[in-house]
Chain A
Amino acid sequence: MSTKKFIIQKIIQLILALLFVTAITFILMRLSPIDAAEAYARRSFRVSTEEIEIIREQMGLKKPLVIQYTNWLKDALRLDFGKSLVNNRDVFTEIVGAGKITGLIVLLSTVIQAVGALIIGGITYLTRHNLIGKALRFLAIAAISIPAFYLATAFIDIAAVKWGLIGVAGNTGLMRYFPAALCLAVGGIAFFGQLIEKAIDQAMNEDSILYARCRGLSERYIVVRYAVPQAVISIIPTFMQMMGMCMAGSAIVENIFSLPGLGYLIIESLIDRDLPIIFATVLYLAFALVLFNILADIVQRILLKEQKEGMVKF
Chain B
Amino acid sequence: MKKLKFVIPILVVVFCSLGFMLAPNNPYAMDAAHKFASFSADYPFGTDQYGRCEFSRILYGGQVTLGIVVVGAAIVLLIGTVIGLFLGRMSTGKSLLFNSLLDAVTAIPPLAYLIIFVGIWGNSIPTMLVALTVSLILRMIKLSKTQTEIELGKAYVLCAISSGASKMRILFVHVLPNMIRSLIHFLCLSCAEMIMSISAFSFIGLNLGDDVIDWGSMLQESRTVYSVRSSLLYFPILFIFICTLAFNLIARQMEGGEENA
Give the B-binding residues of A (Cβ under 8 A). 9, 12-14, 16-17, 20-21, 24-25, 28-29, 31-34, 141-142, 144-150, 153, 157, 244-245, 248-249, 251-252, 255-256, 263, 266-267, 270-271, 278, 282, 285-286, 289-290, 293-294
Interface of A (DSSP majority class) = helix
Of B100, B199, B203, B237, the contact of A16 (CB 8 Å cutoff): B100
Pairs A–B under 8 Å by Cβ, sample size 12: A9-B99, A9-B100, A13-B107, A17-B104, A17-B105, A34-B121, A145-B248, A149-B203, A252-B201, A263-B115, A270-B118, A278-B120
Q: Are B120 and A286 in contact (CB under 8 A)?
A: no
User: B240 within 8 Å of A by Cβ?
Assistant: yes
Instruction: State how many angstroms separate the Cβ of A256 from the closest Cβ of chain B.
Output: 7
Q: Mark B111-127, 1 if CB is under 8 A from A, else 0.
A: 11001111111100000
User: B157 within 8 Å of A by Cβ?
Assistant: no
Given A145-B241, A145-B245, A251-B115, 13 more A-B residue pairs with CB atoms under 8 Å apart are: A12-B96, A13-B104, A34-B122, A141-B245, A141-B248, A142-B245, A145-B192, A149-B200, A266-B115, A267-B204, A278-B119, A278-B120, A282-B116
Instruction: State how many angstroms separate the Cβ of A26 from the closest Cβ of chain B.
Output: 10
Nearest-neighbor residue (CB-CB) of B195 within chain A: A147
Instruction: State how many angstroms separate the Cβ of B159 from the closest Cβ of chain A.
Output: 30
Nearest-neighbor residue (CB-CB) of B203 within chain A: A149
Q: Are B204 and A255 in contact (CB under 8 A)?
A: yes
Instruction: State how many angstroms separate the Cβ of A213 from the closest Cβ of chain B.
Output: 24
Q: Are A20 and B100 in contact (CB under 8 A)?
A: no
Q: Are B108 and A290 in contact (CB under 8 A)?
A: yes
The interface residues of chain A lying within 8 Å CB-to-CB of B82 are none
User: B219 within 8 Å of A by Cβ?
Assistant: yes
Of B96, B103, B116, B252, the contact of A24 (CB 8 Å cutoff): B116
The interface residues of chain A lying within 8 Å CB-to-CB of B100 are 9, 12-13, 16
The interface residues of chain A lying within 8 Å CB-to-CB of B218 are none
Nearest-neighbor residue (CB-CB) of A292 within chain B: B107
Q: Mark B197-225, 1 if CB is under 8 A from A, else 0.
A: 10111011110000000000001000100
The interface residues of chain A lying within 8 Å CB-to-CB of B219 are 150, 153
Q: Are A21 and B108 in contact (CB under 8 A)?
A: yes
Q: Are A270 and B119 in contact (CB under 8 A)?
A: yes
Q: Are A150 and B107 in contact (CB under 8 A)?
A: no
User: B49 within 8 Å of A by Cβ?
Assistant: no
User: B196 within 8 Å of A by Cβ?
Assistant: yes
Q: Are A249 and B111 in contact (CB under 8 A)?
A: yes
The interface residues of chain A lying within 8 Å CB-to-CB of B104 are 13-14, 16-17, 20, 290
Q: Give the number of residues in B that approach A within 8 Å (Cβ atoms).
A: 42
Of A28, A251, A289, the contact of B117 (CB 8 Å cutoff): A28
In the docked arrangement, what's the CA distance between A145 and B12, Å?
Answer: 15
Of A28, A147, A289, the contact of B107 (CB 8 Å cutoff): A289
Q: Are B101 and A20 in contact (CB under 8 A)?
A: yes
In the docked arrangement, what's the CA distance between A148 and B192, Å?
Answer: 13
Residue among B119, B121, B200 having the largest count of chain A Cβ atoms under 10 Å: B119
User: B44 within 8 Å of A by Cβ?
Assistant: no
Nearest-neighbor residue (CB-CB) of B114 within chain A: A248
The interface residues of chain A lying within 8 Å CB-to-CB of B108 are 17, 21, 286, 289-290
Q: Are B248 and A285 in contact (CB under 8 A)?
A: no
Nearest-neighbor residue (CB-CB) of B204 within chain A: A255
User: B172 within 8 Å of A by Cβ?
Assistant: no
Residue among B99, B112, B199, B219 having the largest count of chain A Cβ atoms under 10 Å: B112
The interface residues of chain A lying within 8 Å CB-to-CB of B226 are 157
Q: Are B107 and A293 in contact (CB under 8 A)?
A: yes
The interface residues of chain A lying within 8 Å CB-to-CB of B205 are 255
Q: Are A245 and B116 in contact (CB under 8 A)?
A: no
User: B109 within 8 Å of A by Cβ?
Assistant: yes
In the docked arrangement, what's the CA distance between A289 and B112, Å?
Answer: 9
The interface residues of chain A lying within 8 Å CB-to-CB of B96 are 9, 12
Q: A141-B252, A248-B115, A289-B108 are in contact. Are A147 and B223 (CB under 8 A)?
A: no
Q: Are A256 and B116 in contact (CB under 8 A)?
A: no
Of B101, B111, B237, B245, the contact of A150 (CB 8 Å cutoff): B237
Q: Which of B63-104 contact A (CB under 8 A)?
A: 96-97, 99-101, 103-104
Q: A17-B105, A25-B116, A252-B204 are in contact. Are A147 and B244 (CB under 8 A)?
A: yes
Nearest-neighbor residue (CB-CB) of B240 within chain A: A147
Instruction: State how many angstroms separate the Cβ of A38 from the closest Cβ of chain B.
Output: 13
The interface residues of chain A lying within 8 Å CB-to-CB of B171 are none
In the docked arrangement, what's the CA distance between A290 and B103, Å?
Answer: 9
User: B136 within 8 Å of A by Cβ?
Assistant: no
Q: Are B116 and A21 in contact (CB under 8 A)?
A: yes
Q: Are B241 and A141 in contact (CB under 8 A)?
A: no
In the docked arrangement, what's the CA distance between A289 and B245, Å?
Answer: 27
Instruction: State how many angstroms separate the Cβ of B215 from the closest Cβ of chain A.
Output: 10
The interface residues of chain B lying within 8 Å CB-to-CB of A278 are 119-120
Instruction: State how many angstroms separate the Cβ of A118 from the closest Cβ of chain B.
Output: 22
User: B128 within 8 Å of A by Cβ?
Assistant: no
